[in-house]
Structure 1
């Protein structure tokens, strides 16, 4: 029975790989007609094919091509899903009111476990292959690299499962070799500890980027694996909603994991020839759209999108990103995520990240840009206009990659870990934070900006703020707030800020209710220039959006609601659109398990916040 099961599993594995057309050179492969384990792992080409089938579980509509990237990580104090609440659709996820029947949960859940199963097969059979044990030096090194990649991929799948569902069932062997095909929920700490150790091994097996240049940033290299290990270590050392106590807690030995993150990030930073900051923030995201503009290799690992289909491509720039009117020459695109209105004013007006991150303008039916209303700004790191799209095509896929790990994250994880394990931040931690800030302001921090704090508490708060500004729209903020146990307090803080913004009080006293605008040319110039060249009565956005305006519409201009677009109902009290309306602390930090999964595996238990639904 087990022999039959494993042959069937490998047939599925091989078919999954063979069916993938690839326009990313690094994901090319040669297929084998025979899918037996001996053949699959008997050559470098077919082993690579099996490994590509594991990478395939990252992408597509049910991976980081859509749902995991653009739904799972919202809402936080940066972005939310557009539209009105429904418990069984994407808005239910964003408003923390998803039901176990939510249709956007089950397929990603299943795909992540499919990735675990495929990785398990590679992890078992690569070390058993003749090439691994007796091949040439080159063959053995390549097979070891493949094993390291499989370990890293399995760690990523489990990390995604844990941060969304908590104590998920674990299996570190293929189902064909397990006696219990329906494992119960497993303690997440134990799962984390296994994958953290796996990643230590993987980093020893996989070379640095420069030693396997053909991989680019589409496959795991040593730096990316170390960064992933640091990220998972911080999650292991952070807070999470505990099954036993039903409270947000972190373990007593949490500093052990901050130390791991510190050491991994320190080693990456010590190798700037491998990875460094891209000097231009915007170019990091343009690179994801096809034209490589990242010679510093800030993008350490991207989820590659290709093929123009729902299984291997992404809907980045179509579902989310800068909004394009369907009648424009660009065709429909963007708008699936909208900014929390206060997020715009979290940025210093001189911070170049603001206009890359936020869709301050949209493209109208005349293919011109026009300022958005304050309640309708989209995320903007993904833009259909940055791709080589066919203007006559109705395609929803543009081969836009997802940024899984960036070097700026390494710098900020290092600074955070250093500060946590020491009495106060070291000079190196301060320098790491400053490096990120300097890039944000075009290479030199203005002298009138506050100095970076040197005491522990204030430095931590500076990290919390910097990560908000650096990673907006990249699906990280929600999970940061959870691991810091700040999600409830930050939500309360955001609601207070929204109330002040609606009323035009406090920090928002000078925010105008209405702005007056004309449509203007969309030049595809740098984002800060695009925003600065919007036609607004009274000057540039950095003037008009920070001062009270006149009460009547100037001749030739159109009134556009800015602060006036916000109401207490649409931002706070509405059961359909109120900010994180259904969030409950110590209940909704995790998703519900899909009912379909619970029905198939009766040994699993539903998460506490959803029992009885």
Structure 2
């Protein structure tokens, strides 16, 4: 049976590549496109590859589910709608029939199947050089590895499909071992490190994968393999891949004397400017929106952003603010000196009447929200202390006159250079039985950019002890990387998710504003109350999958 691609996918990816209306009209109007003729030249291969990016950037991937609704319910943010449990996994009341579970599963496997189809259909004879052919193959393998890594993080053992689906029988696949899954991921990413371009090369396209993104993702994979559930020791490999990135010298932390380098990184992501020296890989919603790909949805800054109040006006930077911030995260910051605190956590909101005011309490669940991907900020921060209506604000997205009510154009960082530095520091601490000079240096780079002194000066005992240094890195990764879709990944591999939820609950209940009769306050501690380590360290297989896939049985804890 021949593989087919629907005309809808073709039209999507043509738009993603910026193909003109005239070019589309020149395409033969088939109802389906057969794979043996689809990748007959480099342009068609690029079109197909853009389609894979479009899938993982949708609402069911990096646009919402993977990075917001499924990432809530850690010690950094929680689902703040007390009257319902729509984000089931965030409050640990999830079931196999939840939409967010099945949507992410389907999204990742759709991208994997398109990657497999791409790899089976692309031909070296269509390219002038072997290098150009290998680079596109490497990019498809990078995306396939990324999707399998996400699946393994959330579900652990999953079916391993390395060829495209050609019929219904291909759906019947058992869950592979984690050893086999990670071996496939490492194989794909290793190939990507060898054949993807350097970000300084003329062939590199911003918003797409390059070789150091592959090295960084490999470091993250080996870090995961070193923790729960495999608990193997791959820390030296983590260091090796991080060192490749660091020693090259292209990547560095952003420094900005006018604001802060940290703040500038997110101004760039929000405004659609590619900061390729710090951001190794990002999901480019801005570019996809610019090309008219309207069903690729970014919700960053909307669902996990600053409360804007009710507005139906076209062009207003709406913020539904459905994620609240735990006070325990706020307590990790040196609030007087750490320049990341005011950027990461909302200190202001806009009322429905148009008054921009300060957030009243850390337990104001719809106001004390993530601010890292903010869509707007006050034109004059002095207005926060002045009562009034229709106060001016600045829309931060690149096209403020064309803002969408429900969707944003804010690019999402999958991997940043600060993460590389912190991964190296963590691995070096494990390999050497304590912090090495380089581990201290790389942690200090991240701290210094935030306005903090070296860890040796701030806490000499931490700088000299393996366990205390690890605990410092646990906190530092929260301060630096909060709301970037990494915290759950970290806490699970450290086997600390239950402990940190309990700590977050203790801080809430001990807060001076807490009331045991306030339903909003009680809703904040739902994750800690509902969390069961015997079932909630991974997701159940989607009900639709175990119904269709006769070789996959539901996990015992969800039967």
Instruction: Tell me, yes or no, whether TM beats 0.5.
Output: yes
Q: Distance in 2 between matches of 1:435 and 1:464?
A: 16
Aligned positions of 1:67-146 closer than 5 A: 67-84=65-82, 86=84, 89-90=86-87, 92-126=88-122, 128-131=123-126, 135-137=127-129, 140-146=130-136
Residues 450 and 148 of structure 1: is their aligned pair in 2 closer, same or farther, counting only changes over 3 Å?
same
Aligned to 1:300, the other structure's residue is in SS state strand
2:448 maps to 1:438: yes
Q: Distance in 1 between matches of 2:499 and 2:20?
A: 43
- 1:481 Cα deviation (Å)? 0.6
2:555 maps to 1:607: yes
> Are 2:429 and 2:435, in contact at CA under 8 Å, matched by a contact in 1?
yes
- 1:494 Cα deviation (Å)? 2.5
- 1:200 Cα deviation (Å)? 0.7
Which residue is 2:379 aligned to? none
2:409 aligned residue (394, 399, 416): 399
Q: Distance in 2 between matches of 1:408 and 1:107?
A: 31
Q: Distance in 1 between matches of 2:56 and 2:21?
A: 16
Which residue is 1:59 aligned to? 57
Residues 390 and 291 of structure 1: is their aligned pair in 2 closer, same or farther, counting only changes over 3 Å?
closer
1:341 aligned residue (327, 339, 350): 327
- 1:126-170: CA deviation from partner (whole Å, max 9, x where unpaired): 3x4413xxx433xx2111100000111001111111111111111
Q: Distance in 1 between matches of 2:416 and 2:196?
A: 18
2:162 maps to 1:172: yes
Which residue is 1:449 aligned to? 458
- 1:260 Cα deviation (Å)? 1.8
2:182 maps to 1:192: yes
Residues 21 and 449 of structure 1: is their aligned pair in 2 closer, same or farther, counting only changes over 3 Å?
farther
- 1:237 Cα deviation (Å)? 2.0
Q: Distance in 2 between matches of 1:66 and 1:584?
A: 25
Which residue is 2:346 aligned to? 359
How many residue pairs get matched? 518
1:484 aligned residue (488, 491, 494): 494
> Are 1:30 and 1:45, in contact at CA under 8 Å, matched by a contact in 2?
no
Unmatched segments (≥5 aa) in structure 2:
256-260, 377-395
Residues 201 and 230 of structure 1: is their aligned pair in 2 closer, same or farther, counting only changes over 3 Å?
same
Higher mean Cα deviation, 157-166 or 390-399?
Answer: 390-399
Residues 426 and 403 of structure 1: is their aligned pair in 2 closer, same or farther, counting only changes over 3 Å?
same
Q: Distance in 2 between matches of 1:579 and 1:99?
A: 15
2:228 aligned residue (225, 239, 247): 239
> Are 2:278 and 2:416, in contact at CA under 8 Å, matched by a contact in 1?
yes
Q: Distance in 2 between matches of 1:301 and 1:293?
A: 10
- 1:414-455: CA deviation from partner (whole Å, max 9, x where unpaired): 11111112222221111111111111117x559962245132
Which residue is 2:385 aligned to? none
Q: Distance in 2 between matches of 1:188 and 1:156?
A: 15
Q: Distance in 2 between matches of 1:176 and 1:162?
A: 24
Aligned positions of 1:254-293 closer than 5 A: 254-255=232-233, 257-273=234-250, 275-279=251-255, 280-292=261-273
- 1:245-291: CA deviation from partner (whole Å, max 9, x where unpaired): xxxxx34xx11x22221111011011122x11112101111111125
2:279 maps to 1:299: yes
Q: Distance in 2 between matches of 1:571 and 1:344?
A: 22
> Are 2:213 and 2:280, in contact at CA under 8 Å, matched by a contact in 1?
yes
- 1:412 Cα deviation (Å)? 0.6
Which residue is 1:556 aligned to? none
> Are 1:224 and 1:405, in contact at CA under 8 Å, matched by a contact in 2?
yes
> Are 2:303 and 2:322, in contact at CA under 8 Å, matched by a contact in 1?
yes
> Are 1:30 and 1:46, in contact at CA under 8 Å, matched by a contact in 2?
no
Residues 258 and 125 of structure 1: is their aligned pair in 2 closer, same or farther, counting only changes over 3 Å?
farther
Residues 345 and 370 of structure 1: is their aligned pair in 2 closer, same or farther, counting only changes over 3 Å?
same
> Are 1:67 and 1:104, in contact at CA under 8 Å, matched by a contact in 2?
yes
- 1:479 Cα deviation (Å)? 1.3
Residues 84 and 17 of structure 1: is their aligned pair in 2 closer, same or farther, counting only changes over 3 Å?
farther
Q: Distance in 1 between matches of 2:320 and 2:173?
A: 40
> Are 2:13 and 2:48, in contact at CA under 8 Å, matched by a contact in 1?
no
Residues 587 and 23 of structure 1: is their aligned pair in 2 closer, same or farther, counting only changes over 3 Å?
closer
Residues 96 and 310 of structure 1: is their aligned pair in 2 closer, same or farther, counting only changes over 3 Å?
farther
> Are 1:24 and 1:304, in contact at CA under 8 Å, matched by a contact in 2?
no
Aligned to 2:271, the other structure's residue is in SS state coil
- 1:190 Cα deviation (Å)? 1.1
> Are 2:317 and 2:405, in contact at CA under 8 Å, matched by a contact in 1?
no
Aligned to 1:369, the other structure's residue is in SS state strand
Which residue is 1:459 aligned to? 469
1:155 aligned residue (145, 151, 161): 145
Which residue is 1:468 aligned to? 478
Q: Distance in 2 between matches of 1:573 and 1:330?
A: 30
- 1:360 Cα deviation (Å)? 1.9
Residues 447 and 227 of structure 1: is their aligned pair in 2 closer, same or farther, counting only changes over 3 Å?
closer
- 1:381-421: CA deviation from partner (whole Å, max 9, x where unpaired): 11222214556865322311111111111111111111112
Which residue is 1:523 aligned to? none
Which residue is 1:330 aligned to? 316
Which residue is 1:511 aligned to? none
Aligned to 1:220, the other structure's residue is in SS state coil
